């Protein structure tokens, strides 16, 4: 991921040993990638589409390590399946009023108020939040 590389490039010469961890998340639904909503109307339309359906959360992970002048870079991702409950128009509007959907891929947060609209999750809960902690632990233990 470019953000992790940019940070690493900026700081690698300032420290003997460095670990940079980067992550990003998108929601995939109906052959489209859903990022953060542009505005409240976009959030409403996205939630209206997702309600009662299944979507997929893809969380990318990059780890860059510099130790003893050796650089190791690992990239990976996790796919998590999210089943959304049906939502009324009023529930969607009230949820948007909280502000939570406005900076979330797919316009919802499984770890916040949006959790009440999640029927179930198959896969990594931490990945659905935005960073697969289990995968990060696996990478760090290997290197």
Q: Which among 84, 26, 101 has a CA at the least distance from the CA of 58?
A: 26
Question: What percent of the chain stands above pLDDT 90?
Answer: 91
**Tokens in use for 95?**
């949820």
Res 20: pLDDT: 96
Report whether 9 contacts 71 (CB < 8 A).
no
What would the pLDDT profile of 89-129 be if each residue is shown by its tens digit?
999 999 999 999 999 999 999 999 999 999 999 999 999 99
Active site residue 24: yes
Asked if the model's pLDDT at residue 84 lies above 90, the reply is yes
Q: Which residue segments constitute the domains of the chain, with CATH numbers given?
A: 2-142 (3.90.950.10)
Q: Which helix (H) or strand (E) holds 65?
A: strand 54-67
Asked if the model's pLDDT at residue 17 lies above 80, the reply is yes
Q: Which of 17, 24, 89, 137 is catalytic?
A: 24
Asked if the model's pLDDT at residue 52 lies above 90, the reply is yes
């Amino acid at each position: 991921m470019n953000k992790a590389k940019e940070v690493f490039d900026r700081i690698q010469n300032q420290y003997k040993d460095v670990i940079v961890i980067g992550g990003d998340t998108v929601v995939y639904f109906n052959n489209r990638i859903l990022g953060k909503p542009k505005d409240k109307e976009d959030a409403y339309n996205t939630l209206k589409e997702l309600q009662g359906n299944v979507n997929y959360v893809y969380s990318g992970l990059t780890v860059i390590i510099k130790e003893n002048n050796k650089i190791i870079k690992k990239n990976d991702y996790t796919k998590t399946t999210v089943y959304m409950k049906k939502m009324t128009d009023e529930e969607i509007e009230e949820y948007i009023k909280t502000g939570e959907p406005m900076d979330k891929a797919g316009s919802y947060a499984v770890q916040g108020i949006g959790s009440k609209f999640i029927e179930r999750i198959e896969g990594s809960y931490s990945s659905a939040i935005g960073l697969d902690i289990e995968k990060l632990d696996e990478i760090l233990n290997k290197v």
